[in-house]
C-alpha cells in the first residue's frame, strides 16, 4: 500500500464512494429492503436488483444516474462462510448506475479515479480484466487510462460476460483486481489465484438483448451497472488478512470470543471459523429482522431461522452454553445504525426474535442429542457399524447438530458416519436452495423479456366484468414467442385486456376460457409478470394467432368460490383479533377455490374454546348480511381510517380498500363478495403451529363446506359399517383395537424370543471341543438382532468356558452376526469386537463391540456360509494348543 493510502473505516469507505458519485451527478438512493419487490427472488441478492424494472424498460427512471450502498443476502455458498477470506451471507454492494446516460469510457475513468485517487490504491498494484471480444474496453484501459497491456487480462464469457438468464439484457463486463504480491511480476498473471488477487470492482456494460436463439441485438438505451464490495475494499485498505478482521465485522467476532472466554488471535483454525460464522451471520439476521422477516419453516423465514441456528450451533462449538445472541446482536446494531438507523429503531424486535429462536433451538439441540442416542442404539441393534448419511444430515439440518459432533459421538461408540451419504444429502439441499432462491431472472417467462418494447401493459377489468372483448398480444410455446399455435398445445397468452384475476396476495388465478371464431383455449391459471397478465392454458380446438380478436370469459363458479374464501379470510382475521389478541397480524395466506389458509403471528396456540368462538362469530357476521364495499383511496387516507395492510403486499400512492362496516377494513387487491351473506357458511378445519410464533388456520367456506362435510360423512359411515357400531361409538371401538394391537405385538415379541431360545438350545449338541474350550458356530434362521444377542448370551452361559458365534438373516438382503466370548477366550488373545469385524467384511458389512460381546451386520446373505466357516476355522486356530 502506498504512503498516500490511509486507514479508512468501513463507514468512511461507504461515504467516500457515495460522495464521489454524488459530486458527479448521481442521486444517492437509500438501500432497498432485503425483501425484494421482485416476486421471483426470495431476498435482495445484488445491488442492481432494485433497478430490474428499469433495465427491462418496464419503468422509467426518475434519475439518469444513481448511486447506492445496497445491503444484500446470499446463502447459496453458506458452507464457505468463515472458511474462505471473503465469503459472506450478508454484504454491502456499493454501486453506481447509468440509465441510458454515460457508458464505458466514463464508467471506466471514474472507477479508476475512485480506486487510485480517492482510495489511494497504487496503480502498479491493480490489474483489470475485460471480455475477450470487447476491444472497446481494452482500448480504453490501455490508451485512455494507461494500464500496461500485461496487466489487462482478456477473459472468457464465463468470467466477463454478464447475463441475466438464458434471454434478456446482457453485456460484457470489466473488473478491477488488487494485487497483494506485485513482486511476483506480470509474466504469469492468474486472476483465479485468490491468494494473490482480489476482485473488488465490477463494471457491467449492459448493451445487448439476447433472444431465445442466442442472438445479440444492441439495446436502444445502454446502461451501466457496477458493484464494489464494501467488505473487500475494507480488507484492502485496512490491510488485514480477510474480510472478517475488518472493522465491519471483527467487533462482532470479538464480542462472541469474550462471551466464550477465548482469544481470537491465539485460537486454532476450527475455533476461528466458528467465530467468523457468528460474525457474518449475526449481521445477516439483525438486518433481516429489521426488515420485518420473521423466522419460520418456509421461504425467507426459513433462511433466517437457519442462520440463527448456525450462530447458536457455532456458539456451542466454542464453548458458549447459555443464550448469547441478543448480546452479540447489540454489537452488530451499534456497527450498522449510522448507515441503517432502522436496526436501532427495531432493536427490541430484533433481540426478542433472537432470544425466542435461540431458546427454542437450544431445546431442539437437546432433542437432537436424544435422537442421536436413539440412532446409535438402533444401528447397534441392527448389527451395523455405520450411521446412515441421511440420518446424520437430518440431525444437522433439522436439529442443527454438527456432523463433526455426530462423528465424535459415533467414534466413542465404535461407529462411523457415512460421509458420502451426508455430502450427497447436503448437495441435494444446496441444489434445491440455489434453484429456488438464488437466481436473478431479469426475463419475464423467457421470451417475455421483449414485452415492454412492443406492447402495453394488460388492462385488468375483472373487478366489474366477468368477460371482455380482447386482442391476443403474445403467444408463447415452451418459452418461445410464436405467431400461432394449434389444438393440443400448451400455451402462455398475453391479452391487451382481461377479466382474469392473476395470482396475487395469496389469491390464486382465475380459470376460464379464451375463445374466437374457430378457437377455444381452456385457461388453467393466470400469473402476473411485471405489468402483464400471463394466461396459462391449452388450446382445445382450432388455431390461435397473434392479433386475434377473442372473448375472455372467467369461470364464474370458480370466481364465486374464491371470492367467498377471500372475504372469509378478512372475517377470520377480524375474529382472531377480537377473541385471541388484537395485535395479531397476517404472516401469509392462500385463497383457493376449495379452501383458505391463513398464517398469523401469535406466540401461543389458539384454544378449542377460542376456535369455537371464532367460527360462531364469523357465521354470525355472514348471517347478518353485512355489505362488503370496495373503494380506491390515497394510502394515507386509508390508513387514517384504520385500514389494515395485508402481508407481503406492495402498495402505491392509491390503494384498494375492502370495508365490511363494523367488522373489518383492509387494504386488498383481491376479488370479494358484495355481501357477507354470499359466503353461506364457514368451517375451521384445523389450527396448528407452522413456525416459531406463527400459527396456521385452514378453513372452508361456501360450497366447499358441503364438500368437506360430505367427505367426512362418507368416512364415518364407512368406518361404522366396517366396525358394525354407531358413529358415536367409533372412538371407543378404535381405542379397544389399539389396545388389542399393542398386546398382540408384545405377545409376538415374547414368542420370537422364546423361539430363538428353543432353536439355540437345540444347537448345544453341535458344540465342538477345542482343547479346554467349547465353541459353537451356527445360523439361527430369520431371528432379529436383539434375539440373536440374547440367544448367544444364553448359550455361552450353558457352555461355560468357550465362544459362541451366531448368525441370522432377518431380511432378504440383511445379515446379523453376534460373537460372545468367555474371559478365558479373551486371555487367549481373541476379542469379540475385532473378531466379528473381520468376519462381517466377508458378508459386505462391518461391526464391533466389547472384547466379550460384539455385534455386526452385512448386506450379502449369499456369503454367510463362507463367513461361518471362516469364524469356525479362526476360533479353532486361536483356541487350539
**pLDDT value, residue 306:** 84
User: 345 falls in which pLDDT band (50, 70, 90)?
Assistant: confident
**pLDDT value, residue 351:** 92
- Phi and psi at 519, nearest 5°, equal -135, 145
**Cβ contacts of 430 within 8 Å, gap of 6 or more:** 76, 79
Query: Hey, what's the cell of 599?
Result: 398464517
Cα 766 to the center of its chain, rounded Å: 60
**pLDDT value, residue 670:** 92
Average pLDDT over residues 265-272: 90
Give the residue ranges of DSSP H helices in 318-418: 325-336, 342-345, 347-381, 389-399, 403-412
What does the alpha-carbon distance between residue 17 and residue 47 come to, in Å, rounded to a whole number?
14
What does the alpha-carbon distance between residue 579 and residue 598 come to, in Å, rounded to a whole number?
16
> Quick one: which of 192, 222, 205, 211 has its CA closest to 135?
205
Cα 5 to the center of its chain, rounded Å: 42
- The dihedral through the CA atoms of 554, 555, 556, 560 has a sign that is negative
Average pLDDT over residues 108-137: 94
Are 68 and 75 contacting, i.e. CB atoms less than 8 angstroms apart?
no
787 pLDDT more than 80:
yes
Average pLDDT over residues 357-385: 84
User: What DSSP string runs through 689-722?
Assistant: EEETTEEEEEEEETHHHHHHHHHHHHHHHHHHHH
Instruction: Give the tens place of pLDDT for each residue, 216-255.
Output: 888 878 899 999 999 999 999 999 999 999 999 999 999 9
729 pLDDT more than 70:
yes
197 pLDDT more than 70:
yes
Q: Which of 251-265, 358-372, 497-511, 772-786 has the lowest mean pLDDT?
A: 358-372
Q: Please state, for a pLDDT cut of 90, what percent of the chain lies above it.
A: 49
Q: How does the average pLDDT of the chain come out, rounded?
A: 87
Average pLDDT over residues 727-752: 83
Q: Which of 296-305, 500-509, 700-709 has the lowest mean pLDDT?
A: 296-305
**pLDDT value, residue 402:** 67
Q: Higher confidence at residue 69 or residue 297?
A: 69
Average pLDDT over residues 729-738: 86
User: 753 falls in which pLDDT band (50, 70, 90)?
Assistant: low
Tell me which range, 44-53, 156-165, 449-458, 568-577, is most confidently predicted by mean pLDDT: 568-577
Average pLDDT over residues 658-672: 92
Q: Higher confidence at residue 429 or residue 270?
A: 270
**HSE-CB of 689 using CA atoms within 13 angstroms:** 11
Distances (CA, A) of 556 to 70, 494, 559, 620: 45, 21, 5, 26
440 pLDDT more than 50:
no
**pLDDT value, residue 4:** 40
3-state secondary structure of 366: helix
Element (H, E) at 833: helix 832-842
Are 393 and 420 contacting, i.e. CB atoms less than 8 angstroms apart?
no
> Quick one: which of 27, 108, 19 has its CA closest to 64?
27
User: 777 falls in which pLDDT band (50, 70, 90)?
Assistant: very high
**Cβ contacts of 224 within 8 Å, gap of 6 or more:** 96, 97, 98, 101, 102, 103, 107, 203, 204, 205, 206
**pLDDT value, residue 3:** 38
**pLDDT value, residue 502:** 93
Instruction: Please tell me the pTM assigned to this model.
Output: 0.53
Q: Please state, for a pLDDT cut of 70, what percent of the chain lies above it.
A: 92
User: 93 falls in which pLDDT band (50, 70, 90)?
Assistant: very high
Are 230 and 68 contacting, i.e. CB atoms less than 8 angstroms apart?
no
Distances (CA, A) of 532 to 182, 473, 528, 529, 675: 53, 10, 6, 5, 30
- Phi and psi at 545, nearest 5°, equal -125, 150
Instruction: Give the tens place of pLDDT for each residue, 575-625.
Output: 999 999 888 888 788 999 999 999 988 878 899 999 999 999 999 999 999
Is residue 333 exposed (0-12), middle (13-18) or buried (19+ Cβ within 10 Å)?
buried
What does the alpha-carbon distance between residue 346 and residue 341 come to, in Å, rounded to a whole number?
9
User: What DSSP string runs through 78-128?
Assistant: GGGTTTSSS--SEEEEEEEEEESS--HHHHHHHHHHIIIIIS---GGGEEE
**Interior angle at CA 351, CA 346 and CA 352, nearest 5:** 100
**pLDDT value, residue 5:** 46
> Quick one: which of 112, 117, 67, 113 has its CA closest to 93?
67
User: 687 falls in which pLDDT band (50, 70, 90)?
Assistant: very high
Instruction: Give the tens place of pLDDT for each residue, 487-540.
Output: 999 999 999 999 999 998 789 999 999 999 899 999 999 998 767 899 999 999
Q: Higher confidence at residue 646 or residue 843?
A: 843
Average pLDDT over residues 766-772: 89
**pLDDT value, residue 50:** 84
Q: What is the 3-state secondary structure (H, E, C) of 390-450?
A: HHHHHHHHHHCCCHHHHHHHHHHCCCEECHHHHHHHHHHHHHHHHHHHCCCCCCECCEHHH
Q: How are the residues of the chain apportioned to helix, strand and coil, as percentages rounded to the nearest 5?
A: 45, 25, 30
What does the alpha-carbon distance between residue 37 and residue 539 come to, in Å, rounded to a whole number?
33
451 pLDDT more than 60:
no
Q: Higher confidence at residue 375 or residue 1?
A: 375
463 pLDDT more than 90:
yes
What does the alpha-carbon distance between residue 491 and residue 500 come to, in Å, rounded to a whole number?
16
429 pLDDT more than 80:
no
297 pLDDT more than 80:
no
- Phi and psi at 861, nearest 5°, equal -60, -25
Pairing of strands 484-486, 543-545: antiparallel
**Mutual angle of helices 250-260 and 299-317, in 10-degree steps:** 50
User: 844 falls in which pLDDT band (50, 70, 90)?
Assistant: confident
Element (H, E) at 224: strand 216-229
Distances (CA, A) of 695 to 291, 527, 573, 617: 21, 27, 12, 20
Distances (CA, A) of 196 to 20, 148, 185, 605: 28, 19, 11, 56
Amino acid at each position: 500500500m502506498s504512503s498516500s493510502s490511509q486507514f479508512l473505516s468501513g463507514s468512511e469507505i461507504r461515504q467516500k464512494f457515495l460522495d464521489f458519485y454524488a459530486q458527479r451527478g448521481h442521486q444517492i438512493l437509500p438501500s432497498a429492503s432485503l425483501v425484494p419487490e421482485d416476486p421471483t427472488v426470495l431476498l435482495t441478492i445484488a445491488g442492481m436488483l432494485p433497478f430490474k424494472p428499469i433495465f427491462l424498460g418496464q419503468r422509467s427512471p426518475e434519475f439518469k444516474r444513481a448511486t447506492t450502498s445496497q445491503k444484500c443476502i446470499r446463502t447459496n455458498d453458506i458452507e464457505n462462510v468463515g472458511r474462505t477470506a471473503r465469503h459472506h451471507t450478508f454484504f454491502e454492494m456499493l454501486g453506481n448506475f447509468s440509465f441510458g446516460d454515460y457508458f464505458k469510457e466514463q464508467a471506466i475513468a471514474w472507477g479508476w479515479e475512485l480506486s487510485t485517487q480517492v482510495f489511494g490504491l497504487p496503480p502498479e498494484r491493480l490489474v483489470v480484466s475485460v471480455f475477450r471480444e470487447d476491444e472497446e474496453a481494452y482500448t480504453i484501459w490501455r490508451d485512455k487510462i494507461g494500464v500496461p497491456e500485461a496487466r489487462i487480462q482478456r477473459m472468457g464469457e464465463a468470467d466477463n460476460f454478464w447475463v441475466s438468464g438464458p434471454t434478456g439484457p446482457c453485456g460484457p463486463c470489466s473488473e478491477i483486481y488488487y494485487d497483494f504480491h506485485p513482486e511476483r511480476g506480470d509474466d504469469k498473471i492468474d486472476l483465479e489465484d485468490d491468494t494473490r488477487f482480489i476482485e473488488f470492482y465490477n463494471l457491467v456494460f449492459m448493451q445487448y438483448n439476447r433472444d431465445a436463439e442466442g442472438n445479440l441485438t444492441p439495446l436502444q438505451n445502454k446502461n451501466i451497472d457496477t458493484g464494489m464490495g464494501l467488505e473487500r475494499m475494507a480488507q484492502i485498505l485496512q490491510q488485514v488478512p480477510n474480510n472478517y478482521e475488518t472493522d465491519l465485522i471483527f467487533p462482532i467476532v470479538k464480542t462472541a470470543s469474550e462471551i466464550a472466554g477465548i482469544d481470537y488471535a491465539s485460537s486454532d483454525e476450527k475455533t476461528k471459523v466458528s467465530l467468523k460464522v457468528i460474525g457474518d451471520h449475526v449481521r445477516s439476521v439483525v438486518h433481516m429482522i429489521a426488515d420485518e422477516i420473521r423466522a419460520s419453516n418456509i421461504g425467507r423465514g426459513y433462511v433466517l431461522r437457519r442462520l440463527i441456528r448456525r450462530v447458536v450451533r457455532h456458539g456451542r462449538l466454542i464453548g458458549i452454553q447459555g443464550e448469547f445472541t441478543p448480546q452479540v446482536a447489540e454489537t452488530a446494531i451499534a456497527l450498522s445504525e449510522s448507515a441503517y438507523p432502522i436496526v436501532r429503531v427495531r432493536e427490541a424486535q430484533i433481540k426478542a426474535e433472537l432470544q425466542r429462536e435461540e431458546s427454542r433451538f437450544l431445546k431442539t439441540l437437546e432433542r437432537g442429542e436424544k435422537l442421536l442416542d436413539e440412532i446409535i442404539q438402533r444401528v447397534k441393534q441392527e448389527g451395523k457399524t455405520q450411521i446412515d448419511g441421511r440420518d446424520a444430515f437430518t440431525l444437522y439440518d433439522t436439529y442443527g447438530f454438527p456432523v463433526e459432533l455426530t462423528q465424535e459421538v459415533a467414534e466413542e461408540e465404535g461407529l462411523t458416519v457415512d460421509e458420502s451419504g451426508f455430502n450427497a444429502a447436503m448437495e441435494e439441499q444446496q441444489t434445491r436452495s440455489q434453484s429456488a432462491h438464488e437466481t436473478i431472472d431479469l426475463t419475464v417467462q423467457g421470451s417475455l423479456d421483449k414485452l415492454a418494447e412492443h406492447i402495453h401493459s394488460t388492462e385488468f377489468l375483472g373487478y366489474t366484468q366477468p368477460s371482455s372483448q380482447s386482442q391476443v398480444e403474445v403467444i408463447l410455446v415452451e418459452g418461445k414467442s410464436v405467431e400461432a399455435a394449434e389444438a393440443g398445445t400448451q400455451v402462455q397468452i398475453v391479452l391487451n385486456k382481461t377479466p382474469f384475476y392473476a395470482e396475487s396476495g395469496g389469491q390464486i388465478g382465475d380459470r376460464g376460457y379464451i375463445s374466437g371464431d374457430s378457437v377455444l383455449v381452456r385457461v388453467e391459471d393466470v400469473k402476473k409478470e411485471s405489468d402483464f397478465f400471463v394466461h396459462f392454458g391449452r388450446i382445445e380446438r382450432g388455431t390461435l394467432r397473434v392479433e386475434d380478436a377473442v372473448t375472455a370469459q372467467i369461470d364464474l363458479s370458480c370466481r364465486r368460490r374464491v371470492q367467498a374464501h377471500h372475504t372469509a379470510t378478512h372475517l377470520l382475521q377480524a375474529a382472531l383479533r377480537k377473541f385471541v389478541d388484537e395485535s395479531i397480524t397476517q404472516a401469509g395466506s392462500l385463497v383457493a377455490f376449495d379452501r383458505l389458509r391463513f398464517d398469523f403471528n401469535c406466540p401461543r396456540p389458539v384454544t378449542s374454546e377460542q376456535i369455537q368462538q371464532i367460527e360462531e362469530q364469523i357465521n354470525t357476521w355472514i348471517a347478518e348480511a353485512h355489505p362488503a364495499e370496495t373503494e380506491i383511496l390515497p394510502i394515507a387516507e386509508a390508513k387514517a381510517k384504520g385500514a389494515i395492510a395485508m402481508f407481503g403486499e406492495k402498495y402505491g400512492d392509491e390503494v384498494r380498500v375492502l370495508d365490511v362496516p363494523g367488522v373489518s377494513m383492509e387494504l386488498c387487491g383481491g376479488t370479494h363478495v358484495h355481501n357477507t351473506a354470499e359466503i353461506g357458511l364457514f368451517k375451521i378445519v384445523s389450527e396448528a403451529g407452522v413456525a416459531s410464533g406463527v400459527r396456521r388456520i385452514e378453513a372452508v367456506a361456501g360450497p366447499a363446506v358441503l364438500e368437506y362435510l360430505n367427505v367426512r360423512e362418507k368416512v364415518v359411515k364407512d368406518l361404522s359399517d366396517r366396525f358394525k357400531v354407531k358413529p358415536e361409538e367409533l372412538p371407543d371401538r378404535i381405542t379397544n383395537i389399539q389396545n388389542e394391537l399393542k398386546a398382540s405385538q408384545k405377545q409376538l415379541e415374547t414368542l420370537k424370543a422364546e423361539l430363538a431360545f428353543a432353536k439355540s438350545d437345540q444347537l448345544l449338541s453341535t458344540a465342538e471341543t477345542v482343547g479346554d474350550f467349547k465353541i459353537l458356530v451356527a445360523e439361527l434362521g430369520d431371528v432379529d438382532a436383539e434375539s440373536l444377542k440374547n440367544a448367544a448370551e444364553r448359550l455361552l452361559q450353558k457352555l461355560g468356558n468357550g465362544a459362541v458365534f451366531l448368525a441370522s438373516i432377518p431380511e432378504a438382503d440383511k445379515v446379523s452376526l453376534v460373537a460372545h466370548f468367555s474371559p478365558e477366550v479373551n486371555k487367549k488373545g481373541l476379542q469379540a469386537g475385532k473378531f466379528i469385524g473381520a468376519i462381517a467384511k466377508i458378508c459386505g458389512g462391518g461391526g464391533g463391540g466389547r472384547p466379550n460381546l460384539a455385534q455386526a451386520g452385512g448386506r450379502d446373505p449369499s456369503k454367510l456360509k463362507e463367513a461361518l466357516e471362516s469364524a469356525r476355522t479362526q476360533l479353532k486356530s486361536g483356541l487350539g494348543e
